[in-house]
A and B are shown apart, each in its own frame.
Chain A
Amino acid sequence: MSDSFLVSPLGSLEYAPAPESAALARLSDSYGLFIDGRFSDPESHELVETLNPATGEPLARYARGSTSDVDAAVRSARHAYESVWRDLPGSERAKYLFRIARLIQERARELAVVETLDNGKPIRETRDVDVPLAAAHFFYYAGWADKLGYAGYGAAPRPLGVAGQIIPWNFPLLMAAWKLAPALAAGNTCVLKPAETTPLSALVLAEILQQADLPPGVVNIVTGDGTTGAALVAHPGIDKVAFTGSTEVGRRIQRTAAQTGRHLTLELGGKGANIVFEDAPLDEVIEGIIDGIFFNQGHVCCAGSRLLVEESVADEVLRRLRRRMDQLRVGDPLDKNTDVGAVNSATQLDKITELVEAGEREGALRYSASCALPDRGYWFAPTVFSNVSQTHRIAREEIFGPVLSMLTFRTPDEAVAKANNTPYGLACGVWSEKGSRTLWVAERLKAGVIWANTYNQFDPTSPFGGVRESGFGREGGRQGLEAYLDV
């Protein structure tokens, strides 16, 4: 039966624009580095532009941290570690973390707008996910700061020292919180390097650290590009490297770190499988698939980018999925009703486009949502490929965009085999009304995170991280402390 009589769902009650005000971001023209508790003069650095990916227009200029800037930051962090932070009682460190968490909440609206402008993700997500979760991470680890002896790592576990932390552009503020909160709770000091295309929310966070009276040098934020990150990783003064980003860069970092014996945790790419059995709750499955791949434009390392559907319901799932995709509201990220925002950069858009073209060439069947895309900025319509086989590049390589590859299976064994047929191992989803089957499958999946009848749910109390080429080490939960303690 066609659904022609179901007129376009959004055709009748068309939502008038409901934009959040960009002025809330209170952006400066240019930003310096945050070292030793102070912002440096922007004009003393080489400045680069950061763009609004929704328009392609520049938002602000920020400093490209040089090797000597990195050196100054690491020395400041070392000094703060030895003179203040290491020996501060846990209950005192907790006070700072609680303060930071509350200040994030107080400035939530500003942070949400800054993040949306700089990253391109919809305000609905920054407002309801990124910013509240960032605050929640600080709250959570604040609670641990004076209870480290009960975390299961000995009676009085020691911090590692100075942590060099490099974060990606897909969740700029949230990843900063994931890195900083456990490190600070455990008594380490930090040098944080935000991603090249999304430095702004970390710089607002630096203002918050000042507001919170965090002792100078405990957190230093050095913006810049890959060379800045490389200088940080190679700096002899750091004791720990924590990196979230691509598997390729992760390999290089591991190579560098291997020669030093310093601690390392890596959270890298993924090609998550979302496995749907025929008895699954179909309407919720569709929402789970949508959340799994179109959340944050698919710029999610744990995205459910491979959809594995039992053959008996594959047509039904695909039909419903396409209908749902047509309802996604793609456009102005600042509009409160936008579901899918802009791709973060021209480089990323090129990569997505290249892989999608490869998918078409290799014979997979493409369906893209019928939405109109803005004519400036970087955009890609939500897309699903069906008739995908395991050998296709779109089934093997991480696309990191709103592109889903659908494969089918016949038995639970085949589902597990296909799900595990990837070098990655970050996250998987299992959809079934039968608990015993869900557990049977989950036990056999090689992934750090497995969601049952849901996808892309995050909580500070729950450890997150990968196996195989998705990295090692956990962030979140009690386990997240281990990465910053000498155990």
Chain B
Amino acid sequence: MRVPSVERRPSFADEVQLRRALDHLSGVDAVGVTHRVAKLATRSLKTSTKSRAIDLALSMIDLTTLEGSDTPGRVASLCAKARRPDPEDPTTPAAAAVCVYPDLVADARRHLEGSSVAVASVATAFPSGRAPLSVKLADVGAAVEAGADEIDMVIDRGAFLSGRLGQVFDEIEAVKAECRGAHLKVILETGELVTLDNVKRASWLAMWAGADFIKTSTGKVSVNATPTVGLVMLEAVRDFAEETGSLVGVKMAGGIRTTKDALRYLVLINETVGSRWLSPDLFRFGASSLMNDLLMQRTKQRLGAYVRPERFSGD
């Protein structure tokens, strides 16, 4: 799956200019955002809308395995699942990508050859990002070399929180160059940025530095994707698109397990940034267990009754 590249973005002479640009963004009122999210969570998706939304959500999944215990065999079965989530129903949409650690990219590449499913790899000393830049770049280079279509990098949260914004910016730019055409998702790790103002500033910083996607989380900290963070990031990509003409995607990762959660994100997109983002080239779910719940609900929509969870593969 190919994502359109970001074309136009401003350049900053130094960190002072970058900080001024970020200071110029209007603030975020957390109470208001929470209120808005709660209101949109009451949207009721029924019948044909629900079926359509479930298929859309399935096609947006980056099926992910990021464990120390990952093996080539585990990646093989995940790839098979990404290509054909429900072998008994060939109309089920395939996932958008399979997301693995860099050393397993080659395996994933081999198993996904000839399918629409992309290979995504985390890189840059995922999940902490605590490594010298040269190591991070080598990490990225290896993943790209092995055939990754998409790179999920982490920002240096320590640098961001201590105000070294220029450093964060430069790292993203350097990683982007190292991607050599692979699409760059920038993980903000919003659970560690804590405030919605920080989320908004980090979103803009990443977009200015060349992110093709901004992504919430690694899935490795206690707070991952939340609807309030999702709303703030969606508003950021919308405003960025209006300002620069460039479309940046959003990936919500970690903690999204149910169809209900996923559909609420689709409603957020629908009523915030518009239908252009209701597509896997601009919106992704980084998840693993979500897929089976979507499959379960999809079957329910079709048959009118729930089937046993064991009907779907445990991968």
Contact = CB atoms under 8 A, between A and B. Distances in A.
A12 to B, nearest CB: 3
Contacts of A1: 242-243, 245
B29 A10 contact: no
Nearest to B42: A124
Contacts of B26: 279-283, 433
Contacts of B46: 15-18
A287 interface: yes
A5 B276 contact: yes
A9 B267 CA distance: 10
Contacts of A9: 270-275
A15 B31 contact: no
Interface residues of B, number: 38
B271 A453 contact: no
Given A15-B44, A281-B27, A281-B28, A327 B235 contact: no
A6 interface: yes
Given A6-B241, A279-B26, A454-B31, A14 B49 contact: yes
A311 to B, nearest CB: 16
Contact of A6 (B36, B49, B266, B273): B273
A18 B243 CA distance: 36
A281 B29 contact: yes
B90 interface: no
A6 B28 contact: no
Given A281-B26, A287-B35, A454-B31, A13 B238 contact: no
B10 to A, nearest CB: 14
Interface in B207-245: 235, 238, 241-243, 245
Nearest to B56: A13
A95 B243 CA distance: 60
User: SS class of chain B's interface: helix, strand, loop or mixed?
Assistant: helix
Interface in A1-25: 1, 3, 5-18
Contacts of A454: 31-32, 35
B46 to A, nearest CB: 5
Contacts of A453: 29, 31-32
Contacts of A357: none
Contacts of A124: 42
A3 B242 contact: yes
Nearest to A13: B270
Contacts of B43: 15, 336-337
B274 A337 contact: no
A284 B275 contact: no
B52 interface: yes
B182 interface: no
A11 to B, nearest CB: 5
Given A6-B238, A128-B42, A280-B26, A11 B275 contact: yes
B33 interface: yes
A6 B47 CA distance: 26
A288 interface: yes
Contacts of A281: 26-29, 32
Contacts of A433: 26-27, 29
Interface in B241-256: 241-243, 245, 247
A15 B275 contact: no
Contacts of A283: 26, 28, 32-33, 235
Contacts of B29: 281, 284, 433, 453
B45 A15 contact: yes
A11 B275 CA distance: 7
B52 A13 contact: yes
B53 interface: yes
B48 interface: yes
Q: Which of B27, B47, B241: most chain A CB closer than 10 A? A: B27
A13 to B, nearest CB: 4
Contacts of B42: 124, 128, 336
B278 interface: yes
Contacts of B50: 16
A282 B267 CA distance: 21
Contacts of B238: 6
Contact of B275 (A7, A17, A282): A7
Contacts of A14: 49
A15 B45 CA distance: 6
Given A128-B42, A281-B29, A453-B29, A13 B53 contact: yes
A289 to B, nearest CB: 11
Contacts of A5: 241, 247, 276
B271 A10 contact: yes
B235 to A, nearest CB: 5
A283 B43 CA distance: 20
A10 B270 contact: yes
A11 B48 CA distance: 14
B276 A6 contact: yes
Contacts of B245: 1
A311 B278 CA distance: 35
B54 to A, nearest CB: 12
A12 B274 CA distance: 8
Contacts of A287: 32, 35-36
Contacts of A3: 242
5 contacts: A3-B242, A10-B270, A15-B43, A337-B43, A454-B35
Interface of B: 26-29, 31-33, 35-36, 42-50, 52-53, 56, 235, 238, 241-243, 245, 247, 266-267, 270-276, 278
Given A9-B275, A283-B33, A433-B27, 13 more contacts: A1-B242, A6-B276, A9-B273, A9-B274, A13-B49, A13-B266, A15-B46, A18-B45, A281-B29, A283-B26, A283-B235, A327-B271, A454-B31
Return the 3 tightest CB-CB contacts between A and B, nearest first: A12-B275, A284-B32, A18-B44
